[in-house]
Amino acid sequence: MTAPNLCALRLWTWLIAACAVLCAPALVAADQKQVLVLYSTRRDAQIAVVGDRELPNILEAGLQQGLDYYSEYLDRGRFPSDGYYATFRDFIRLKYGTTRFDIVIAIQTTAIELVERMRQELFANTPLIFVTSDPATGRARNSTGVVVQQDLSGTIVLAAELQPDLRHVFFVSGASSADRAYEARARSEFGRFEPKLTATYLSGLTTSELEARVARLPDHSFVYYLLAYQDGAGENVHPLEYIDRIIAAANRPTYSWVDSAMARGIVGGYLLDQKAQMEAVGTLALRVLNGEPADDIPIATPELHARQVDWRQLQRWGIAEARVPPGTLVRFREPGIWQRYKTYIVGALAILLTQTALIGALLVQAVKRRQAEALARGSQAELRTSDDRIRDLGGRLLRAQEAERSRIARELHDDISQQIALMAIDIESARGQGDPRSSEAARLACEALNRLEGISRSVYDLSQRLHPTKLELVGLVPSLGGLRRDLSRPDLTIEFSHDNVPPALPQELTLCLYRIGQEALGNAVKHSGAREVVMHLRGDRDRLTLTIADDGTGFDVNTAWGRGLGLISMRERLDALGGTFDLHAGKGKGTRLKVSVPILHSLRPSQSVSSSGIGTA
């Protein structure tokens, strides 16, 4: 932490503490017990979460007086500098300088050291309850505590019993001072397992490096997660969230030493029960709060570890449940069918026995009914097959029609149009070589050129109607806009709008909607007598909808189905793509056509066309 940041932290700490002091009640009930708990960890560490959940309940249940409970968190893992430590002492001094606590509880070494340094100044006559995993921790005056006999080797013993073929242990820990302390303890306890097992310490790696390593571990190995407050890149992490990432990446089973890791994907281990640890602390605190001198209470060294395994992880890694040692707590076991449905099974059997006679009488009827249903299903299947074949045939005919149109359009463009162009060149050349005094020859040549120009335009228009190449070049939206321009007349207004049309569309869908728009607009121009036609193209999440409405004379829809191929062609195009067709018309009421087609995302990119620009390759 830099000097400016440290100064800012000191300033904010003093301001926050001053506000807390000024806003605190002036008086506290005389019979209310004041308790301060100091954690060495961050606020969301599991030991702090369990402590703040359990301790207030334990103390309130065992006290006749009220409880005023405070807790603070040093978070030394993320703020290891001495400057932060000094600032935190100032914060505690300012915030609680006028508070006289009945007891102070210090969780682990950092909190214990802080209390000892401030004992004379702030907690001179306050009893201290401490929790430590270091047996060498000295006992200060007016104190008692709980010494947790930490055992990392018990998890290795359990893993070896569950997986007798184990040969390698991969210890995972972070880069902070607390993480390194756990690594050192693991190294000291592992010696008894050599040479049967070999150890690799994946310590101080970046998160990505660690995930890559655990993803390719050898056979006959397991991951032992110790602790990680910080990775090798200096990134602070939450220990439990970090184990989630390790388990997700690891290709071998993962074990640990604390019960907070259960239900997160570890197989199990010789786990420290943090709730039981807090219950032991609460018991000592109650004895002191109820008047017993702290120095008269012996240091407690309860056995807080227990073998636990996750039944789901045994199934995941193929570990036989028969190998689970006796006395091991098997958690998250999924009940069998009998345990789940015992009542239902017994009831069903009773009902089955009661109704056996009735079922026998109904068997013949049931067989006949099944035969009839089978016959009906067969007929339905044949109808569906026939319908599918018809749809497939219709789709093939449409594709063949488009292919033939494309061929004819290419012939018109590449052959006929070129010949007309050559003929025009020849006439122009002949006119230039003729007798300049012959005005009749010049007039005939000019008329021939004009006729050829008209023929060329007609051939081009026919080619475009047969196969609209601009549809592939500029896309659906501009092509429909071109139809509007081409078909508009002084006495007929055609409006076209669009919204939310995807940038790239399947080629078959584009051609389908263009042909439908072409047919519908052509019918409106030729037969409707309309003064206004409105065309709108809208794109939804997975569909395109084209709506065309006019204010013309309308027609009888039922009669129109048998008189032409236009409506049939539209329906067949939509059926081939799984689209829907909705037509409303009536005499003197105009006509409204609405078609909707699903966007076929499964088509290859090469089958897509831009909706408003050059088609995608």
pLDDT tens readout for residues 447-484:
777 776 777 666 666 665 666 766 777 788 888 888 88
Whether 616 has a pLDDT exceeding 50, the answer reads no
Whole-model pTM: value is 0.54
Whether 221 has a pLDDT exceeding 90, the answer reads yes
pLDDT at 6: 45
For residue 128, name the pLDDT band (cuts at 50, 70, 90).
Answer: very high
Percent of the chain surpassing pLDDT 70 = 80
Whether 543 has a pLDDT exceeding 60, the answer reads yes
Average pLDDT of the residues in 265-276: 95
* CA angle (372, 373, 374) in 5-degree steps: 90
Of residues 160 and 442, more confidently modeled: 160
What mean pLDDT is reported for the chain?
83
pLDDT at 530: 84
What tens digit of pLDDT does each residue of 178-203 get? 899 999 999 999 999 999 999 999 99
DSSP string over 497-561? EEES--SEEEHHHHHHHHHHHHHHHHHIIIII--SEEEEEEEE-SSEEEEEEEE-S----HHHHT
| Residue positions counted in the chain | 617
Q: How many CB atoms lie within 10 A of CB 371?
A: 10
Write the Ramachandran bin of 75: left for phi over 0, alpha for psi from -120 to 50, otherwise beta.
Answer: left
What residue has token string 């050349």?
A: 429
**CA atoms of 428 and 424, how far apart (whole Å):** 6
Percent of the chain surpassing pLDDT 90 = 39
State the alpha helices, DSSP H only, in 63-176: 82-96, 109-118, 153-162
Upstream peptide bond of 195 is cis (omega within 30 degrees of 0): yes
**Would you identify the CATH topology of the domain 3-147?**
Rossmann fold (3.40.50)
For residue 348, name the pLDDT band (cuts at 50, 70, 90).
Answer: confident
Of residues 4 and 360, more confidently modeled: 360
pLDDT at 187: 95
Of residues 440 and 22, more confidently modeled: 440
153-276+302-331: CATH class = alpha beta
Whether 27 has a pLDDT exceeding 60, the answer reads no
Whether 253 has a pLDDT exceeding 60, the answer reads yes
Average pLDDT of the residues in 7-33: 51
pLDDT at 521: 84
State the alpha helices, DSSP H only, in 434-489: 439-466, 469-474, 476-487
Average pLDDT of the residues in 273-291: 94
Whether 166 has a pLDDT exceeding 70, the answer reads yes
Whether 384 has a pLDDT exceeding 80, the answer reads no
Interhelix angle 566-577/356-411, rounded to 10 degrees, is 120
**CA atoms of 210 and 202, how far apart (whole Å):** 7
pLDDT at 376: 83
**CA atoms of 93 and 127, how far apart (whole Å):** 17
pLDDT at 24: 46
Q: Order across the sheet with 221-227: list the strands.
A: 198-203, 168-173, 221-227, 254-255, 268-272, 305-310, 329-331
Cβ contacts of 262 within 8 Å, gap of 6 or more: 268, 271, 308, 310, 331
Of residues 593 and 377, more confidently modeled: 593
pLDDT at 573: 80
Average pLDDT of the residues in 250-261: 95
For residue 28, name the pLDDT band (cuts at 50, 70, 90).
Answer: very low
What tens digit of pLDDT does each residue of 517-542 get? 888 888 888 888 888 899 999 988 88
Residues of the chain with CATH 3.30.565.10: 469-610
Mean pLDDT is highest, among 93-107, 206-220, 382-396, 403-417, for 206-220
Average pLDDT of the residues in 562-567: 66
Cβ contacts of 465 within 8 Å, gap of 6 or more: 518
Residues of the chain with CATH 3.40.50.2300: 3-147, 153-276+302-331
pLDDT at 163: 96
- Give me the CATH code for the 469-610 domain, please: 3.30.565.10
